């Protein structure tokens, strides 16, 4: 057993984040292909920068919890959810929203996008007043 590190990030959350990060990358590349947007090294650099930011944030949180945990184990146990799990949940949320935005752009005006993807994206981004706005305007224009 390793007694040097008292805190490790939640492995399930890390794996979930990695899967969502990969899905977001795949959907982003596919969106660019479908919309005819030229894929350049700038887009790949943005992905690499995001990967470094996520990794750096996770490592900094881990180091802080281990440093403070070395002096005050109670503090580290009490706040590991804030500097560890919450940080990962926020990153997962960002990736999920990005995946839904890419899926919405790829799907265009399909029924699946209209009645599932767009409302779910609006719910998770708290745009509840706009939940079915596009559908209402098209219904009123047909009347």
The arithmetic mean of pLDDT across residues 2-27, rounded, is 88
The arithmetic mean of pLDDT across residues 32-45, rounded, is 86
CB 107 within 8 A of CB 97: no
Q: pLDDT band for 139, please (50, 70, 90 cuts).
A: very low
- The answer, yes or no, to whether residue 75 has pLDDT greater than 80, is no
- The answer, yes or no, to whether residue 105 has pLDDT greater than 70, is yes
pTM attached to this predicted model: 0.78
- The answer, yes or no, to whether residue 137 has pLDDT greater than 60, is no
The DSSP code sequence of the chain is ---S-S----HHHHHHHHHHHHHHHHHHHHHHHHHTPPP-HHHHHHHHHHHHHHHHHHHHHHHHHHHHHHH-HHHHHHHHIIIIIHHHHHHHHHHHHHHHHHHHHHHTT-HHIIIIIHHHHHHHTT-GGGTTHHHHHHHHHH-
């Amino acid at each position: 057993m390793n007694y040097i590190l008292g805190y490790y990030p939640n492995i399930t959350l890390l794996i979930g984040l990695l899967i969502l990060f990969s899905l977001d990358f795949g959907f982003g590349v596919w969106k660019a292909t479908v919309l005819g947007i030229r894929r350049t090294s700038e887009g790949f650099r943005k992905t690499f920068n995001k990967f470094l930011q996520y990794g750096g944030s996770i490592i900094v949180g881990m180091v802080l919890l281990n440093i403070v945990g070395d002096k005050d184990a109670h503090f580290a146990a009490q706040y590991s959810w804030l500097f560890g799990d919450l940080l990962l949940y926020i990153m997962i949320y960002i990736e999920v929203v990005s995946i839904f935005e890419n899926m919405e752009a790829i799907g265009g005006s399909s029924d699946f996008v209209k009645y599932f993807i767009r409302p779910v994206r609006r719910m998770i981004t708290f745009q509840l007043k706009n939940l079915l706005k596009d559908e209402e305007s098209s219904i009123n224009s047909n009347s």
